[in-house]
Structure 1
Amino acid sequence: MSNQYQVTNQDNGKRIDKLMIEIEPSVSRTQVQSWIKEGHLVVNGDPVKSNYKVQEEDEITWEVPEPEPLKIEAEDIPLNIVYEDKDVIVVNKPRGMVVHPSSGHPNGTLVNALLHHCDDLSGINGVTRPGIVHRIDKDTSGLLMVAKNDNAHQSLAEQLANKTTDRKYEAIVHGEISHEYGTIEAPIGRDPKDRQSMAVVEEGKSAVTHFQVLQVFKDFTHVECVLETGRTHQIRVHMKYINHPLAGDPKYGPRKSLPIDGQALHARTLAFNHPVTNERMDFHVEPPSDFTQMLELIKKRS
């Protein structure tokens, strides 16, 4: 079934791939670019490139391709499930676990474990990311919501886009932060000097992180971070930007840090409206033992 959208004056000059994720908030820009490349999306009946800038009254027509059959293997990996019903699963992901398969991590991921646990995951994000609405980094622990069907996926994705979810993190950062609260508003994009890393760059996507100081120690600060947006490596990049990189961060932190395996970052709180009942769901999990051990270590040093 074809979908259509006529470009308005407000949309004039926008890139087609950027406009499409505003029209279809449940899909990613990468997916839109794939639709364009494979001929599932045309403008005025003609194929375009992803960087095509739309004009007022352009007619965009697209078809959402059927998801490919899942090819990722189910693996019997233990899961810490905080909540589950027929629509959503909330998982407490351990440090060291990758969320979905990729060329560098073909197995042993959260998705592999989820496929063993249940076979009713949404297919919106394709074969390698069934059910995955949002991600946290491999070495970040904590709460993640997973959609078990496409309707739930679309609802949760829209809540993320509309900033109606609550996501709070605990982190240990280098340096002593002298003020109790702060907001970092700085755009994030690919680091032009290192395409494997993210950085604050002028042409990046809007990114906002709020933080509150929980406790100050000698050379370190324990903080709570609240995401207003959800950019790749956002907290890690933003805290580095204000010269307080995360302890243990192998990519953005200093070489000499706390003896923790990966960045000291934990997704402690997750809240959203249930995609069917609209009930507010609110979940909290304490940081893992290695995180609390690092807190005890810096307390003793102080």
Structure 2
Amino acid sequence: MSALEPGTLHQRFTIRGRVSERRLDQYLAAALPGLSRTFIQRLIRDGHVTVNAAPSEPSYRIRRGDRIEVVLDLPQGPAVPPEDIALDILYEDDHMLAVNKPPDMVVHPAKGHQSGTLVNALVGHTHTLSSAYGELRAGIVHRLDRDTSGVILCAKTDAAHSALAKQFEARTVEKHYLAIVEGEPELDADLIDAALGRSTRHPEAMAVRRQGGKSARTIYRVQQRFRGFALLDVQLLTGRTHQIRVHLAHIGHPVVADGSYGSRSALYRSDLLGLEPPDDESPLIARQALHAHRIAVAHPATGQRIEFTAPPPADFLALLGALQELRPHASHRT
């Protein structure tokens, strides 16, 4: 099958000897070519996949004679209403789009966010979107946090979705972010290699975990120094939840205005001047100063390497301009 159609997905498989000892998620990714391995892993964990009539895990090694069943009820009719939301489209063809997502936009509908999402905008923009992750995530190949701006790739067909998703899984996608951080890193560039997992204190947050975490690697390069702040180019080598934010906080340089992993959720011009902000002052930025600046992938149809760059939004540029004006560094690097 190549897509998830409305109704019920119901597939049964009996394992023969030649494919035994493969991981369950790997086997199903090959057997259901329209679905990404990440989506299949979620199906398994959510109980939509059974092995010999019992729940299983993605890492389960299948054996000869195993009976695998996949059952998933899919929404009837349009799950996401189209909305007339302007999109900053960096690139579009018959296979994919690259969009410069603004801050304060949720990528797909979820609890508490049923409208105004990127998917609502995409459905309003085009009738052709991939459905490999279901209609609630139509076209979505990867994600950005709500308050992270920048370039995000979307697939128009299931074939394009599969080709792009495989690149993310193989970590061949090159992803660069711009981040404005608190403090000045001692080194001009460094690799942060620290495993991440759920925080034991705050389950909704992530944390560096020396035991039980998943491998996470981030490279940062200082682009410009200011008194008490720095502009970084950050390259993701892995793609864990909140990876950049947690890693930068871990080395003592949280992203500016990151209320979850830093010390404040907004930064004012008066803060840079060392003054108390007046009651009527608007913040320079009131969300994490993190922007997905550049991404490079192989085109899903041609295989040609293509790169997309998204200009930062107004609040990011306002903060950067204020730092250049009020907190210049005698030995800044550009």
Task: Report if TM-score (shorter chain) is over 0.5.
Answer: yes
Shorter-chain TM-score bucket reads: 0.7 to 0.9
Residues 289-298 or 161-170, more deviating? 289-298
Which of 219, 228, 241 is the matching residue for 1:232? 241
Q: CA offsets per residue over residues 262-293 of structure 1, 9 Å max, x none?
A: 00001110111111111111111221121122
Q: 1:190 to 1:4 in 2, by over 3 A?
A: farther
Q: CA offsets per residue over residues 45-64 of structure 1, 9 Å max, x none?
A: x1222448735735463547
Aligned to 2:205, what secondary structure does the other structure show?
strand
* 1:67-82 to 2 correspondences below 5 Å: 67-69=74-76, 70-82=78-90
Q: How many residues are aligned here?
A: 291
Aligned to 2:167, what secondary structure does the other structure show?
helix
Which of 204, 217, 223 is the matching residue for 1:214? 223
- Correspondence 1:280 to 2:280: no
Q: CA offsets per residue over residues 224-247 of structure 1, 9 Å max, x none?
A: 001111111110011111111000
- Runs of 4 or more, structure 1, over 4 Å off, are 1-5, 16-24, 62-67
Q: CA offsets per residue over residues 112-136 of structure 1, 9 Å max, x none?
A: 0000001211111113111111001
Which of 56, 60, 66 is the matching residue for 1:54? 60
Question: How far, CA to CA, are the matches of 1:120 and 1:65 in structure 2?
Answer: 23
Residue 86 of structure 2 aligns with an amino acid whose one-letter code is P
Q: Which runs of 5+ in 2 are unaligned?
A: 1-10, 269-284, 329-334
Q: Do the aligned partners of 1:187 and 1:204 also contact (CA within 8 Å) in 2?
A: yes
Residue 192 of structure 2 aligns with which residue?
A: 184
Q: Which runs of 5+ in 1 are unaligned?
A: none
Q: 1:52 to 1:296 in 2, by over 3 A?
A: closer
Q: CA offsets per residue over residues 105-155 of structure 1, 9 Å max, x none?
A: 111000000000012111111131111110011111100000111111111
Residue 27 of structure 1 aligns with an amino acid whose one-letter code is F
Q: 1:53 to 1:120 in 2, by over 3 A?
A: closer
Question: How far, CA to CA, are the matches of 2:67 and 2:290 in structure 1?
Answer: 42
Q: Do the aligned partners of 2:25 and 2:37 also contact (CA within 8 Å) in 1?
A: no
Q: 1:52 to 1:29 in 2, by over 3 A?
A: closer
- Correspondence 1:301 to 2:327: yes
Question: How far, CA to CA, are the matches of 1:251 and 1:151 in structure 2?
Answer: 37
Aligned to 1:27, what secondary structure does the other structure show?
helix
Question: How far, CA to CA, are the matches of 1:256 and 1:99 in structure 2?
Answer: 21
Deviation at 1:190, TM superposition (A): 1.4
Q: Do the aligned partners of 1:26 and 1:158 also contact (CA within 8 Å) in 2?
A: no
Superposed CA RMSD in Å reads 2.5
Q: CA offsets per residue over residues 206-225 of structure 1, 9 Å max, x none?
A: 21111111111111111000
Aligned to 1:89, what secondary structure does the other structure show?
strand
